[in-house]
Structure 1
Amino acid sequence: MLHQNPNPANWTGRKSEKIEYWHQAAISVKDLKLDTNQESLKVGILGYAGEEGVKRNHGRTGTILAPKSIRNMMGSLAYHLPDTAKIFDYGDIATMDGDMESSHQLISQTIQRLLETNHFPVMLGGGHDLAYAHASGIYNYLKPKGQKLGIINMDAHFDLRPTTDGKGHSGSPFLQLAQENKDDFHYLCLGVQRSVNPKSLFKTADELNAKWMVMEDFRMNNWEVIQEKILWFLDSMDKIYLSVDMDGFSSAFAPGVSAPSPMGFRPEFAFKVFELISKSKKVISMDVVELNPNFDQDNCTARLAARCAEYVVRKVLGNT
């Protein structure tokens, strides 16, 4: 089965008589039966238990375990969303027998349905090939409305590599999106590291009119320039899809990833960026990707991934 029902046992934490923690608020829903109440404020959590894209990109496998690991860490977080908000866990979409394309198709369909039913989708991954499926669902939702989608990717990599024998992988999602959406591809990549992106990828980014900031410039002492660049991008878009690749963080804080680097950004700086982006009121969906529990230490990367998701959701839905 491509879809796997949620396991309520993945949500654990302190006991309380009222809802004070995420594990108490999370409602497990079977068989992708989405809540259709258009009036309610709600989050739709969907995992991507997939690593085929990482394999194809010659990365370290283990991302298939990420959704469970992130949920385990989210459950114990204090709950600060509005009283009217609801959290729905819709389970995972897996890749079976290497058929990544079928799982991508189901993800795209589900993301579109989540948006149509007034959810704020939060995807837990999984290889970054997820971004192709995730964004495709958002495009399918927005295009009939004539709205412009901006993609913000916080990542050490552009992920603009060509496909291999016509097949996508964890390094190709944004090139695939650019090729399929031509004049409607608007991309900002923050934290790009020159050491892991050859000149050819910078050339590709130029040809696609993508925007980026290299890691040398993506630092707190350059905040005014960073803020101006992000605000310009936000102002020119109708909606924003935020993708957070855990390998963009320094491996001192995120060792459990497919492609670790000591030179990434720090959590407190990333969260300052999250806050700026969220204030726009344009963020329509998000994901955290490339967590690899096989290489994590004391769940610190999973905890950070959970904190990223919780923080963005809190700022987008509750502004607290």
Structure 2
Amino acid sequence: MNHLHLNPNPNLWKGRSSQEKEYWHQAIQLVDDLAIEEGKEKKIGILGYAGEEGVRRNQGRTGTSSGPEAIRKVMGPMAFHLSDKTLILDYGDILTLEDDMESSHALISETVFQLLQNSHLPVLLGGGHDLALAHGRGIQHYLSSKKEKLGIINLDAHFDLRTLVDGKGHSGSPFYQLSLEYPSNFHYLCLGIQKAANPKSLFDRAETLGESWIDQDEFSLTNWDSVKESLLNFMDSVNKIYLSIDLDGFSSAFAPGVSAPSPMGFSPELAFRVFELIAKSKKLISMDVVELNPQFDQDRATARLAARCVEFVLRNYLA
């Protein structure tokens, strides 16, 4: 067993008893030792990232390492509306030991690659948003021989295009690092950008990279037609989509349990409209939900929101 990996904990998947498969805890299959299920049939692969070193390096509030556990706890008793034949596999968590975030990233990238090679839709549960670097590397490795354009759609209050600190990446730098490592296949759309959370230099960097964004003032239900048009145009320009959901993009009224809460974020209703378009596009290749910090959550509201995001995307993806 890899020392950076924890096998899935069956005690996290609990819920009501039922003779039929009616709840998520009844549908989940636990897989030990990262033994990736082979075969060409479509599968869902859940992988946790119990890491917060990237948040610490970015001077954020630590506590995100407990995020994957909190999401699983609230998903277990949720009603299950996917097909009974859907294979949903929990592969446990990848850890960061001491401050060695880079080693955990390497294992995440290799695991994402293996999941994609074996017909999974990877669903990664964070953990800090530095996860996106490892996640993106795994997807790019998989697509490298297929000559397909990857589009990254990030719902977030922040660009996460910051430079490295003392030569090291962090939770604010993953997409900048991906842009440097894959300059010919980096296509990025960020939804929900807040001016108060991003200095002008980051707007300049996004413009220099030729990337797209919709700021918080325009990312609203009242402006949905314009948002939808921009989203569809972006999706039409790529072959595959990696969806990243940073919970701090939501208003703190819905997501108080994050490292960087904001009262000015977007609503679940708006985000779920975006998720529906992406999930039904048939281009979704992988997704993650990041920055849950249970230490600051209230009545598990943020954990429940994270779980609902995953469930909604999968329900529409498999419809």
With the shorter chain as reference, the TM-score category is: over 0.9
Deviation at 1:83, TM superposition (A): 2.4
C-alpha separation between the residues in 2 aligned to 1:285 and 1:61?
A: 26
Provide the C-alpha distance between the structure 2 equivalents of 1:63 and 1:20, rounded to a whole number of angstroms.
30
Q: CA deviation at 1:37?
A: 2.0
For the pair 1:81 / 2:78, whether they are aligned, the reply is no
Distance 1:284 1:78 in 2: 24
1:74-106 deviation digits (Å, cap 9, x = unpaired): 111111112221110000000001100000000
1:23 aligns with 2:25: yes
Superposition deviation, residue 46 in structure 1: 0.2
Q: Secondary structure at the match of 2:159?
A: coil
CA contact (8 A) 2:21 2:84 kept: no
CA distance in 1, matches of 2:283, 2:83: 19
| Structure 1 unmatched ranges of 5 or more | none
Letter in 1 for 2:167: G
Q: Deviations over 1:262-312 (max 9, x none)?
A: 000011111111101112110010000000000000000000000001111
Counterpart Cα distance in 1 of 2:47 and 2:85: 21
Matched, 1:9 2:11: yes
Partner amino acid, structure 2, of 1:300? A
Q: Contact 2:153–2:190 (CA<8 Å) still a contact in 1?
A: yes
Give the SS at the match of 2:276: helix
- Once residues 77 and 231 of structure 1 are traced to their aligned partners in structure 2, the CA distance between those partners, rounded to angstroms, is 31
Conserved 8 A contact 2:133-2:178: yes
Q: Is residue 23–residue 77 contact of structure 2 (8 Å, CA) maintained in 1?
A: yes
The AA in structure 1 aligned to 2:37 is: D
TM-superposition CA deviations, 1:182-212 (whole Å, max 9, x none): 1211000000000010000000000111100
C-alpha deviations, 1:157-187, integer Å up to 9, x for none?
0000001121100000000000000121100
Residue 135 of structure 1 corresponds to: 136
For residue 139 of structure 1, what is the amino acid of its counterpart?
Q
Which residue matches 2:167?
166
- Taking the TM superposition and a 5 Å limit, the aligned residue runs for 1:218-297 are 218-297=219-298
Aligned partners of 2:40 and 2:140: how far apart in 1? 20
Letter in 2 for 1:11: W
Contact kept? 2:45, 2:120, Cα under 8 Å: yes
Is 1:152–2:146 an aligned residue pair?
A: no
Q: Distance in 1 between matches of 2:145 and 2:82?
A: 31
Query: Could you tell me how far apart the structure 1 residues matched to 2:251 and 2:290 are?
Result: 15
CA RMSD of aligned residues (A): 0.6
Structure 2 equivalent of residue 299 of structure 1: 300
**Unpaired segments ≥5 residues, structure 2:** none
Distance 2:77 2:123 in 1: 17
Instruction: State how far apart, in whole Å, the 2-side matches of 1:136 and 1:74 are.
Output: 27
Mapped partners of 2:138, 2:248: distance in 1: 24
3-state SS of the aligned residue for 1:145?
coil
SS at match of 2:263: coil
Give, in angstroms, the shift of residue 126 of structure 1.
0.2
Question: Deviation of residue 73 (structure 1)?
Answer: 0.7
- The alignment of Structure 1 onto Structure 2 pairs a total of residues equal to 317
What is the identity, as a one-letter code, of the residue corresponding to 1:203?
D
Whole-angstrom distance in 2 between the partners of 1:113 and 1:85: 19
- Deviation string for 1:27-54 (max 9, x for gaps)? 1110000110212x21100000000000
Mapped partners of 1:260, 1:42: distance in 2: 34
Query: In structure 2, what is the Cα distance between the partners aligned to 1:52 and 1:23?
Result: 30
Correspondences of 1:174-185 after superposition (within 5 Å) = 174-185=175-186
Q: Kindly provide the amino acid, as one letter, of the partner of residue 191 in structure 1.
A: G
Helix, strand or coil: the match of 2:92?
strand
**Would you say the 8 A contact 2:21–2:80 is kept in 1?**
yes
Deviations for 1:6-42, whole angstroms, at most 9, x for unmatched residues? 0011001111011111100111110000110212x21
Provide the C-alpha distance between the structure 2 equivalents of 1:190 and 1:55, rounded to a whole number of angstroms.
24
Q: Percent identity?
A: 63
Which string of whole-angstrom CA distances, capped at 9 and with x for unpartnered residues, describes residues 52-82 of structure 1? 0000000000000000000001111111112
- Say if 2:210 is the partner of 1:209: yes
Scaled by the length of structure 1, what TM-score is found? Answer: 0.98
